[in-house]
Structure 1
């Protein structure tokens, strides 16, 4: 084991968990009505806890076990055969387990943005559990665990799909799943209510930005120059996309909003994620510049043309951003077109089909949608018996 690598991935693991708790929770929480902010916090926190346990029970083994091309099997369930001295590359395997666990936490948590303000908490927990184990973990195995899209003997692609930190594994899967859930859930009663706390949105986005250094830089699994470059290009893409989103918003509407600018930040971060291990600063500048406009236009496409109430634009920002980054790797010559497009197609079909099946299974156990009265009154009181703000004091 290399001490510097171990130290860096310990830090990166903490940073990626910080992205969900509290980063994503605050980002999403600020975007909803005041009467639903605690429900968003509860969904993010509950998902983080449940995914952690399930990753130990079976998720890690499915994703990174030695089962074959299609899944990793259950040979490493409950970390069987792994102790403090077992290594994965140059770091302890238990640390690799923990680092990847934080990815398994944030990916289903991203989907929360599609269904806030109207979904049943029981459905959220069951859906997220099944989705992580059946959809996310196998895809992680296919691309990162030596499976059917990783290249090599038996692979479906001659060259492995180049997805450094999760353009397909994290962002495409979460984005497409968000579309599916939002489609079956239906639109909110009131889709015009503005974010209750833009300041909270900005704080959450800033936390996500900082945490993303661990997300992308840590994916090198070493403290070296590639990790440093990944961190650098991540920052450049985020900053550039923030500016282009704000500029495009100003051109179209006459004003640039804080919520818009920080949403551009997330678009730039999602778009650079798969490419961060391969591109340089100038390429990152181009990725970010395009992402700020592309993802903003995708928001309009989903809501106005597709007429799907993906409430907080999970597909437009994460799904489109991640897939865009995958394609840009081929455009810049860092990956084979056939591999990248095959990866997008295979994972896209898998995610749409499996997510649809999981929605119907989860619906059979828990109601997918709360009552009209509970939606009107807000989920904080209706589902959790609490209020975020005491307006009488």
Structure 2
């Protein structure tokens, strides 16, 4: 039976997840140099428009088609790897038919918001040097060959959830690990900025970063709480764990800054909050609030080290740390879900509640997603490079700034384009 309260809750949650796209546009836009701010924000905005259309045409059916009924009734999809084509252009997805206690159409649109934010995360790895049109082509292909099958395997009754027994409440595997790993592979394929290792890339607008963080934090309540599928106790738990993990991670990141550099920063506080939000996502509706706080502390330390130690050591140009925060944070959160999952809140128990094998299942899902997303992203970028040339803009365009070189539309019209900062 369709419940109007649950329907209103999921509609509001969908709106909040969409707000995250605005958040990441400001978050990333503030982190780049001012000559690339407009291009960065347009990348985040345009992929949202592109994926909105792709989701309606093919995305939803490839995730929930060919086994939607089976997934809701028995937990297993007809095809363990990919959905069918019966819902192309949302055919047969009616506002009167129920998915749980909400209309299937409402659930379909809510799930589409997850696809939007996932591709927007990838933007952060390749800003300031990727060709705009080529990136849109990459996104269109990536959503169909990487994201949709993976979402089906986890949420559409596919083999990760049904056969492997790994669980992902709101997107640790599907959203954060897939986007973070793909972002790293894409960054390597595009190549580093010409000044990488030589120039200091300072954020041009710290207030933008804070504004983006607050929008992300707000939107994450819809992202995690809405994944309960109804306005119920599990949604309340997900809301509480989300906020607690973000707060604990923010404090832990600032502590790391104090211990290593002597000063806490606003930029660091924002980075920590996002890392905590990422880590709690796969277990938001499955773990206790105290466990969420501990997850926030652990992920902040790990991501801080990934960003400050791992990236400089290996020299890869993950410009805005899409891999360092989302990829690494998603891995940490997914494995820790296997440690802290409380069977009182969900269909499985973690290590602390009597099932040590759940950690193994969660770890196997992480390894599979790394191989799936990384391998297919590598193939897509290789084919695109062979067919259309380099994904990296030329040196002169990068020096000028992509606002002018790619769009002739500077974010700050008084800016001439000649200064590197």
The normalised TM-score by structure 2 is 0.89
Is 1:306 the counterpart of 2:306? The answer is no
Per-residue CA distance 1:292-343 (angstroms, 9 max, x = gap): 2111101134421222110001111011111111111122253412321221
Residue in 1 that maps onto 2:19: 18
Residue in 1 that maps onto 2:130: 119
Residue in 1 that maps onto 2:215: 207
Q: Is the 8 A contact 2:190 2:390 kept in 1?
A: no
Is 1:341 the counterpart of 2:359? The answer is no
Is 1:284 the counterpart of 2:307? The answer is no
Residue in 2 that maps onto 1:143: 154
CA distance in 1, matches of 2:195, 2:104: 48
Quote the offset at 1:199 in angstroms.
0.8
Find 2:188's aligned residue among 183, 191, 199.
Answer: 183
Task: Name the stretch that deviates more: 356-365 or 380-389.
Answer: 356-365
Quote the offset at 1:226 in angstroms.
0.6
Quote the offset at 1:367 in angstroms.
3.6
Task: Name the stretch that deviates more: 330-339 or 172-181.
Answer: 330-339
Per-residue CA distance 1:268-301 (angstroms, 9 max, x = gap): 0000000101111110110111112111101134
Is 1:74 the counterpart of 2:85? The answer is yes
CA distance in 2, matches of 1:38, 1:390: 11
Quote the offset at 1:32 in angstroms.
0.2
Q: Is the 8 A contact 1:202 1:262 kept in 2?
A: yes
Unaligned runs of 5+ in 1: none
Per-residue CA distance 1:185-225 (angstroms, 9 max, x = gap): 22112341200001100100110000000000000010001
Distance of aligned partners of 1:229 and 1:294 in 2 relative to their CA distance in 1, 3 Å threshold? same
Residue in 1 that maps onto 2:105: 94
Per-residue CA distance 1:146-182 (angstroms, 9 max, x = gap): 001122xxx2x2xx21110011110000010011011
Is 1:168 the counterpart of 2:176? The answer is no
Find 2:382's aligned residue among 360, 364, 368.
Answer: 360
The normalised TM-score by structure 1 is 0.96
CA distance in 2, matches of 1:371, 1:342: 40
Quote the RMSD (CA, aligned, Å): 1.3
CA distance in 2, matches of 1:301, 1:174: 21
Q: Is the 8 A contact 1:198 1:259 kept in 2?
A: yes
Q: Is the 8 A contact 2:29 2:41 kept in 1?
A: yes
CA distance in 2, matches of 1:223, 1:178: 34
CA distance in 2, matches of 1:205, 1:318: 14
Residue in 1 that maps onto 2:344: none
Residue in 2 that maps onto 1:7: 8
Secondary structure of the structure 2 residue equivalent to 1:294: helix
Per-residue CA distance 1:354-375 (angstroms, 9 max, x = gap): 0001112222236401010000
Residue in 2 that maps onto 1:384: 407
Quote the offset at 1:392 in angstroms.
7.3
Quote the offset at 1:49 in angstroms.
0.5
Is 1:106 the counterpart of 2:117? The answer is yes
CA distance in 2, matches of 1:204, 1:115: 19
Task: Name the stretch that deviates more: 39-48 or 295-304.
Answer: 295-304
CA distance in 2, matches of 1:303, 1:342: 25
Unaligned runs of 5+ in 2: 67-77, 342-348, 351-357, 417-421
Quote the offset at 1:87 in angstroms.
1.7
Q: Is the 8 A contact 1:44 1:112 kept in 2?
A: yes
